[in-house]
Structure 1
Amino acid sequence: MLVLEKNNQLGLPDGWYEILFSESITNIPLTGYKLKQKDYQEKGKLPVIDQGQEYIGGYTDRINLQVNCELPIIIFGDHTKSVKFVNNNFVAGADGIKVLKPKSFFDPKLFYYFTKAIKLPEKGYARHYQFLEKSFIRIPPLNEQKRIVAKIEELFSEIEHISESLKIIKDKIEYYRRSLLVTSFQNLSQKELLSECAEIGTGGTPSRKKPEYYNGKIPWVKTTEIKNSHIENTDEKITQLGLDNSNAKIYPKNSVILAMYGEGKTRGRVAILDISASTNQACAVMVCNPKKLFYKYCFYWFQSQYYEIRAKSSGGNQPNLNLGIIKKLEIPLTDMINQEKIVAQIELELSQIEFFRKNITQTFLKTDLIRNSILKQAFEGKLVTQDPNDEPAEVLLQKIKREKQKISN
């Protein structure tokens, strides 16, 4: 039985109604039709759609797992709250998704947009469908639904064009940053082994089986904290007992740290210690000789050589760097005064690059806010003009109700 909330009780536009979300959909059962993430392929006959932020999580050739339902449908991520409009054959990811078929009184695309507009509580990785199904969703007249969808997609298309332009600019800024660092060291012909102008060491990990080794006062750096920036604090701290019973050692402020291991982009990144700290064994630490190598010069040079240093990694499935490789690196050198001048020029230009990068990031955030504002206006009936000749949603709902009664009789 449909639970209707009239427009005059809610301040909705004429002809609009609200019903419980659970009464606006059919839940498509997925028993026996789910694929675990470990079984995803990079290529395959069918896309796997899950609750991740990307539209497609992976692929599979297991066509027997294809979800058998009338398209289009909506996928809701029970944990992530992601909402996806699906109008192609697919296999469902195994973890936490709901496959929802909007009922005939809803334009499927508008249902998708209105579902995105429903505000749900933030419960972390807990399940959120329990809140969604108890929410109310608004139903405009069917003709108005189509006008709203057309307007949303017109506006979203304009925003997407702006976003694509911003991405191109962002890529160019990153390319310029990389070029700046590379060219800053390009014309220096004199080179010296890094090991001859810096003490190079690593660290260690106190036994995780000994709780008394952790939650101390000694900062302890891991590679996930190395992000081409300065380290002022660490996620974890160890005790003196942990330090004494491991290969960890304390390095002074202004040491340069390089990530030797790490997934994705981590390996090859560097950081400067703004504090005295210890590290784990995945970090190489350079304590620069103050008479030969300015620590900031070393820091920026490593950034300029990011891809070249990563290419020196060795190993099988997970290639890594090691101290032997780091010690054999040759760094272009000039006198200390020139090193400081080079650093000053790099930092001047990087500050300008950072200014533009922040502006781009803020503009990206504004496009998201504009999208949300458009959906809010649509949900409140403020996006398109109303047509008094449209059949009210209540009439449509009553027709559907009578048809169901005829079928049941």
Structure 2
Amino acid sequence: MARGKKKETLTPEDRLQAALVPESEQPYPVPGNWCWVYWGVCGDFQAGSAFKNEYQGLTEYKIPFYKVGSLKYSDSNGILYDASNTVNEEVRIKLKAALIPKNSIIFAKIGEAIRLNRRSINPVPCCIDNNLMSFHAKVCLTKYVYFWSLGIDLYNYTNATTVPAIRKSDLEKVAFPLAPSAEQQRIVDRIESLFAKLDEAKQKAQDALDSVETRKAAILHKAFTGELTAQWRKEHGVGMESWETKKYSEICNIVRGGSPRPAGSPEFYGGNIPFMKVADITRNTGPYVNSTEYTIKEAGLKKTRMVDRNTLLLTNSGATLGVPVICTFKTTFNDGIAAFLGLNPDTLLFHYYFWTSKTAALRAINKGAAQPNLNTDIIGNVEISLPRENEQCEIVRLLDNLLAKEQQAKESAEGVLEQIDLIKKAILARAFRGELGTNDPSEESAVELLKVIV
């Protein structure tokens, strides 16, 4: 009580000074008519409420109830549009859920979702679940705070517990650069104008990136239907009748690996024998895999399988099934991988590209299953049209060249996207230092804004 009474007896000047960040704690210089204040002074933080399952999934009411996953559903301006959960006033009161004013900034406050650093703005009054927190500005434009918040990493404000979480009291003490009202609007307008141009360029780069996979699929389709080497056959006097359709079970032996269990047991793991796991293949970016993360001991050999170098492997389990790779060393491998034994070593790249063309189709076979899986019978029954070996070599040569160009196009588009993100970050950094050329030093100081609310 005494503490509350002391606060009540503070003079307006004392309250103003308490709201200002001391010069020694200010992150960087700002224009003279700006001021550094504590974020909590500028508005109100509100934590979310528990959202019982029995009230979830209703969409006919007027009050949106946002969950942490809702933050994915915001437009390029940060406006939330998720409508998968709604409540009425009766339910809101029953849940004791606070009604968050419209134009609040909403973000994750607990768990790994904080790392995603997402922000959204609610266009209408709403409720939020207990994984979220909101901020409603009193002395600033919502968009001004929103853009400023994009430049900070909220994960830096989590407490050191088993589950990362953000405390309201910690955010209230974050230093915030307060600009005069008119300058806030000019900054928002300038950022939106610059971002609109960047978003236009970003969309073009994203379209180019998306088209790479479509073109790659088309190239691979042409390769294994004979279209890619039509001119080559004409020049060599060869027809499509030279192609033979075979099942893989007819041209090689397909075997599945094994996993010593329990996984990680020192009885089996940690030796000097390479042990291939699915992750060793899926994190690979080319046709060849050259190492494994894990090893096993001699005792583990009885529970797995060894293959020689230059063996084609294929992931056959889980969400990342259907990824082929050529192993360049002798290794054991787990039961999430199949091996093709007996293929001609000189044609392995041809088969690698064939299975690359089949990845999407393979994943569709068990789509919806809890644990998608390809057994050796399914793999063995896949048919391939085989040209003669010299034409296989020509197909590989053409695919190497064409897919290398597509990879360059992909990397170029990814580079543009990365550069745009960096430019946006630079714009935000300059904006909240007063370096966008929008500030009018003759305008009334932002301190006058504070005097209204402290």
TM range (shorter): 0.7 to 0.9
Alpha-carbon RMSD: 3.2
The change in CA–CA distance for 1:314 and 1:27 in structure 2 (over 3 A counts) is: closer
Which residue of structure 1 aligns with residue 79 of structure 2? Answer: none
Q: CA deviation at 1:217?
A: 2.7
Which residue of structure 2 aligns with residue 239 of structure 1? Answer: 297
The change in CA–CA distance for 1:121 and 1:77 in structure 2 (over 3 A counts) is: closer
1:84 aligns with 2:84: no
| Aligned partner letter, 2:312 | V
Q: Are the aligned partners of 2:248 and 2:383 in contact in 1 as well (CA < 8 Å)?
A: yes
Q: CA deviation at 1:100?
A: 1.9
With 55-64 and 381-390 compared, the bigger mean Cα shift is at 55-64
1:278 aligns with 2:332: yes
1:80 aligned counterpart, secondary structure: helix
2:260 aligned counterpart, secondary structure: coil
Which residue of structure 2 aligns with residue 325 of structure 1? Answer: 378
In the alignment, the residues of structure 1 paired with residue 193 and residue 254 of structure 2 have an alpha-carbon distance, to the nearest angstrom, of 58
Higher helix share: 2
Q: Which has the higher contact order (CA 8 A, sep 6+)?
A: 2
In the alignment, the residues of structure 1 paired with residue 353 and residue 187 of structure 2 have an alpha-carbon distance, to the nearest angstrom, of 52
1:226 aligned counterpart, secondary structure: helix
Q: CA deviation at 1:77?
A: 2.7
In the alignment, the residues of structure 2 paired with residue 62 and residue 211 of structure 1 have an alpha-carbon distance, to the nearest angstrom, of 53
Q: Are the aligned partners of 1:55 and 1:84 in contact in 2 as well (CA < 8 Å)?
A: no
Q: TM-score, normalised by structure 2?
A: 0.77
In the alignment, the residues of structure 1 paired with residue 418 and residue 68 of structure 2 have an alpha-carbon distance, to the nearest angstrom, of 25
In the alignment, the residues of structure 2 paired with residue 375 and residue 170 of structure 1 have an alpha-carbon distance, to the nearest angstrom, of 26
Matching residue within 346, 365, 381 for 2:399: 346
Q: CA deviation at 1:76?
A: 3.0
The change in CA–CA distance for 1:44 and 1:322 in structure 2 (over 3 A counts) is: farther
Matching residue within 17, 20, 27 for 1:4: 20
The change in CA–CA distance for 1:83 and 1:389 in structure 2 (over 3 A counts) is: farther
Q: Are the aligned partners of 2:313 and 2:339 in contact in 1 as well (CA < 8 Å)?
A: yes
The residue correspondences of 1:353-372 to structure 2 (distance < 5 A) are 353-372=406-425
2:185 aligned counterpart, secondary structure: helix
Which residue of structure 1 aligns with residue 306 of structure 2? Answer: 250
1:59 aligns with 2:84: yes
Matching residue within 150, 160, 163 for 1:116: 150
1:397 aligns with 2:453: no
In the alignment, the residues of structure 1 paired with residue 275 and residue 192 of structure 2 have an alpha-carbon distance, to the nearest angstrom, of 50
Q: CA deviation at 1:49?
A: 3.8
Which residue of structure 1 aligns with residue 36 of structure 2? Answer: 18
| Aligned partner letter, 1:16 | W
1:107 aligns with 2:141: yes
Aligned length: 392
The residue correspondences of 1:182-197 to structure 2 (distance < 5 A) are 182-187=221-226, 189-197=243-251
Which residue of structure 1 aligns with residue 7 of structure 2? Answer: none
1:207 aligns with 2:261: yes
1:294 aligned counterpart, secondary structure: helix
| Aligned partner letter, 1:141 | P
In the alignment, the residues of structure 2 paired with residue 334 and residue 59 of structure 1 have an alpha-carbon distance, to the nearest angstrom, of 53
Specify every segment of 5 or more residues in structure 1 that has no aligned partner in the other structure, as ranges: 402-409
With 187-196 and 357-366 compared, the bigger mean Cα shift is at 187-196
Which residue of structure 1 aligns with residue 362 of structure 2? Answer: 309
Which residue of structure 1 aligns with residue 100 of structure 2? Answer: 69
In the alignment, the residues of structure 2 paired with residue 31 and residue 91 of structure 1 have an alpha-carbon distance, to the nearest angstrom, of 8
In the alignment, the residues of structure 2 paired with residue 206 and residue 374 of structure 1 have an alpha-carbon distance, to the nearest angstrom, of 53
The change in CA–CA distance for 1:191 and 1:93 in structure 2 (over 3 A counts) is: farther
| Aligned partner letter, 1:261 | S
Q: TM-score, normalised by structure 1?
A: 0.84
Matching residue within 182, 191, 196 for 1:157: 196
In the alignment, the residues of structure 1 paired with residue 372 and residue 186 of structure 2 have an alpha-carbon distance, to the nearest angstrom, of 54
| Aligned partner letter, 2:381 | K
The change in CA–CA distance for 1:261 and 1:62 in structure 2 (over 3 A counts) is: farther
